[in-house]
Amino acid sequence: MSARATGTPIAGRVGVALALSAWLTGAAAATHMVAVVSLDDDPRHDPRRLERGYPGHPRGPLLHAAQLGANDSEVGLRAAGQQLQVREATARDASDLPRLLQQLRNDKVTYWVLDLPAPLVTQAVQAAGSNAVLFNASATADALRGTGCAAQLFHTHPSQHMLQDALAQYLAARNWRNALVLQGPSAEDAALGESWQRAAKRYGVKVTATKPFKLSGDPRERDLANPRLLTTDRNHDVVAVMDADGEFARTLPYATQWPRPVVGANGLVPLAWHPQWERNGGPQVNRRFAKLADRHMTGQDWAAWVAVKTVASLLRDHAKATPVEQARLLRSGQVFVDGAKGPRLSYRAWDGQLRQPLFLSHVDGVVGTAPLDGVLHPTEVLDTLGVDEKETACKAKP
């Protein structure tokens, strides 16, 4: 069964919300379109995979979150004579995506919230040209913020470097400085491992050993697959598991040879959002989302929600600006958005990444927020997470 099956009831409910917003705002307001761009056959949204609910992974499509962003912005936009309409834009598969993107251009949809795998984000950037402002709400690849960055592309979901920096800051603050690393075999695992190594070096966390793991029941590969055999080394404070998939990492907590916390893909996990965040208006956002979507809000949902809220911030003060001018405004750092994570948030001038606090979660709740107390930065402490101005490889500017 494809993700389409879950698409129909969503569309129905969103339709009701749209009708309601049209009734409340009246006819005079200028209407702006936001499209949530996704793929029907996105492996990240495979129904069986969604069911697993691995930490940091999506739990469903981002349409509800985008709609919540529009609902939350409605009254503020009404005062400015503007309104937002969220529309679902789903391609059957990667080969169908060009048709869909052309359709969005033809329909003059100015705001694209992308829920696409990293290579397809680049495809959307090319299709949009300078006619839209794009928000990447789920791809964590740092390359999209570096050599593959784009003038009109913004990132509301944190990058992998940001997430791993958050984790390393926490370990350093706890003085848990020796990590045994279990490294997965896939290309995604390797990228995760690179981000981890960069962060560990930055914050002085020592890797005592790196061991490859493999999902396997084969007794001849026991040393690669058995959590106890993988964790017999004595001199480590934590076991850091680099598992982009999540299945192996789930088997680790409380299953190691020594009583050591698991961090990374399970155990202590860096996240963009958590359904149990109880400060800064978090409970209200989580409750509103749960009411609309019948599930918990994930980091990807948060990123889509905050993308639409960014659009609302732009429309409130700069509705007449062109997409290129709006991208310049976002890159200027003077457009602010309230992400319910404490400080007001703004976009980095050098790569269009939304700077934001991140949560350290033990899956059941939030134990810490990064940047950790005591981490310093000459101008903006949120820029201790991820790629700072001096390190950026991004050349594109709006």
The contact set with other proteins (CB under 8 A) reads 24, 71-76, 78-80, 281, 284, 287-288, 316, 336, 338, 342-344, 380-382
Q: Which is nearer to other proteins, 107 or 294 (CB)?
A: 294
Min separation Cβ 50 and other proteins, Å: 27
C-beta of 94 vs 375, nearer to other proteins: 375
> Shortest Cβ distance from residue 287 to other proteins (Å)?
6
What values do phi and psi take at 41, rounded to 5? -105, 25
CB of 341 to other proteins, least distance (A): 11
Q: Report the distance separating Cα 311 and Cα 322, nearest Å.
A: 13
Of 222 and 377, nearer to other proteins (C-beta) is 377
CB of 386 to other proteins, least distance (A): 17
If the CB atoms of residues 105 and 288 are measured against other proteins, the closer one turns out to be 288
Shorter beta-carbon distance to other proteins: residue 228 or 291? 291
Choice between 40 and 338, CB closer to other proteins: 338
DSSP state of 40: T
Q: How far is the CB of 380 from other proteins (least distance, A)?
A: 8
Buried b (16+ CB within 10 A) or exposed e, 13-24: ebeebbeebeee
Concatenating the DSSP letter of every residue in 71-118 gives HHHHHHHHHTTEEEEEEEEEESSGGGHHHHHHHHHHTT--EEEEE--H
Q: How far is the CB of 343 from other proteins (least distance, A)?
A: 4
Closest C-alpha among 88, 87, 84, 110 to residue 21 = 84
Q: Please list, in sequence order, all residues whose beta carbon lies within 8 angstroms of the beta carbon of residue 53, skipping any fewer than 6 positions away.
A: 59
Task: Identify whether the C-beta of residue 313 lies closer than 8 Å to the C-beta of residue 337.
Answer: yes
User: Residue 338 — φ and ψ, nearest 5°?
Assistant: -95, 110
The encoded tokens of residue 295 equal 């599930």
